[in-house]
Amino acid sequence: MTHDPTFWIIARASGLLAYAMVSATVVAGLVLRGRPLTKLRPAAVADIHRFLSLLGILAVGLHGTALVLDSTVKISPAALLVPGLAPYRPVWTGIGVVVFELMLLIHLSFRLRSRIGARNWRRLHWAAYAVFVGATVHGLMSGTDSDRPWALGIYLSVTTLVAGLTVWRATSPRRGPSAPRGGPPVTAPAGGVTMQPPPRPTRRPRRR
């Protein structure tokens, strides 16, 4: 009886697709924060960021489902939720499980932002870097195509792009609040409330 490689091919393709979506989500988040392209509206980039995050979760779900249905490596549904249960390279596949769970947590935080607060929400989003690093390590160490030149080129190119955008964001000056027309630039105090300058007195026309 010959082995049907259909699910194994789907698992490999969906794994690469998931990595592409994770990388695109991180890039969109960096563009949203730093806005290197001034013509992009922040609201539009935020919508793209959330949509790419959802696509990444769906791709990871397809990746895990195909692995369970494939008979090349016996992976149980529980191994998709508990790190280390997969018999195939348990350490590296376990990292993939942790990455998926972090992706779910970050994506759900969009709906819980008003409850957890903007500051905690931003702190949680720092985990997106861990997701990207973990996904890269998982792909390189557990992917069957990771030793091929085209796959190494993908990982190297994407990592270089994310690293470059991260450095750009860290070194670029932050924009302060815009100054009102007719007055000097005004800085916000510690409380976060912008002080507006008093209006200029208007001159009354002289009577003839």
What is the domain range of residue 67? Answer: 6-171
Residue 45 has pLDDT above 50, yes or no: yes
User: How high is the pLDDT of residue 182?
Assistant: 46
pTM for the whole structure = 0.77
Taking alpha carbons only, the member of 86, 81, 85, 74 closest to residue 97 is 81
Is 52 within the bounds of a domain? Answer: yes
Is 203 within the bounds of a domain? Answer: no
Is 197 within the bounds of a domain? Answer: no
Is 201 within the bounds of a domain? Answer: no
Residue 10 has pLDDT above 70, yes or no: yes
Is 14 within the bounds of a domain? Answer: yes
Give the pLDDT band (50/70/90) at residue 206: low
Is 199 within the bounds of a domain? Answer: no
Q: What is the mean predicted confidence (pLDDT) over 61-74?
A: 91
More confident residue, 33 or 152: 152
Work out the mean pLDDT of the chain and round it to a whole number. Answer: 81
Q: What is the mean predicted confidence (pLDDT) over 125-140?
A: 93
User: How high is the pLDDT of residue 73?
Assistant: 83
Burial group, residue 138, by CB count within 10 angstroms (0-12, 13-18, 19+): buried
Give the pLDDT band (50/70/90) at residue 194: very low
Is 162 within the bounds of a domain? Answer: yes
Q: What would the pLDDT profile of 141-188 be if each residue is shown by its tens digit?
A: 998 888 899 999 999 999 999 999 899 888 876 654 444 444 444 444
Is 1 within the bounds of a domain? Answer: no
Our count of domains for the chain comes to 1
